[in-house]
Amino acid sequence: MKLQGRVALVTGASRGIGRGIALALAQEGAAVAVGYRSGREEAEAVAAEVRRMNGTALIVQADVAHYDQVSAMVSRTVDQLGGLHILVNNAGIAKDTLIYRMAPGDWLEVMEANFGGVVYCTKAVLDHFMGQRDGVIVNISSIQANHGSLGTSMYAASKGAINSFTRSCAVELGRFGVRVNAVLPGFVPTDLVAGLPAAKVQEIGRRIPLRRLPTVDEVARVAVFLAGPEADYMTGCLVPVDGGAGIVLGISG
């Protein structure tokens, strides 16, 4: 197993893409800290599944929009799992609506959770990563960052910020042996996009070159690849996992 002896922290790991990534990392031998904000039972279920694989898991609670909670989460991971080598910044929210209809504070709530969480988690691990001159950060972004679509302005802007931050981190941290990359999933059928009308989801699927939506497992495998030794010479990369959607999807209603 290529991640044997490595410790990973995955935020937003109680469900959806984060859950898939946590399980995929465990399958490759990593000990996994399952980060969650409010879904304790779901996080416990993920940890139990890791243990059924004969893996090591710990659940760690934090609202990633608050640095003190993030710092405590990282410290607990290091103390109880004996180290930290991989950070997957996956936690995020969406408050999709037309700009005209959004409440004045909606954009800040989305930015604090999505972009602020990436900034805070990254900052919290740097003393450890830089000190050991070894660390991998995988940010979960979205192809929405690169394309305009109705009702997703706040979410897309937060993911665009993550993309720029990923590149800047790669420049700053490469000399310390720390790699930083991002995965840009397409429209994965998770709770985050569950509010979309079925007709809209079908329309999106028809317009993707591979003619289907990506699965959680397909996104997770790319995140694990970036976290592993095969990607040792990759940093500052924004890797789409979208079936080609990013090259054809434009503005749609």
Say what percent of the chain tops pLDDT 90: 80
Q: What is the pLDDT of residues 219-247, one digit of tens each?
A: 999 999 999 999 999 999 999 999 998 88
C-alpha span between 204 and 241 (Å, rounded):
15
Is 155 designated active site? Answer: yes
SS3 (DSSP) at 178: strand
For the chain, domains (ranges, CATH) are: 7-237 (3.40.50.720)
Question: Higher confidence at residue 249 or residue 112?
Answer: 112
Q: What is the pLDDT of residues 139-195, one digit of tens each?
A: 999 999 988 778 889 999 999 999 999 999 999 999 999 999 999 998 887 765 556
- The catalytic position among 67, 100, 120, 155 is 155
DSSP 8-state secondary structure symbol assigned to residue 230: G
Packing angle, helices 153-173 and 106-132, rounded to 10: 20
Please determine, for residue 41, whether its predicted confidence score (pLDDT) is greater than 80: yes
Please determine, for residue 249, whether its predicted confidence score (pLDDT) is greater than 60: no
Beta-sheet strands, E only, within the chain: 7-10, 31-36, 57-61, 86-89, 135-140, 178-185, 238-241
Say what percent of the chain tops pLDDT 70: 96
Please determine, for residue 123, whether its predicted confidence score (pLDDT) is greater than 50: yes
Q: What angle do CA 116, 84, 25 make, to 5 degrees?
A: 90
Q: What is the pLDDT of residue 212?
A: 86
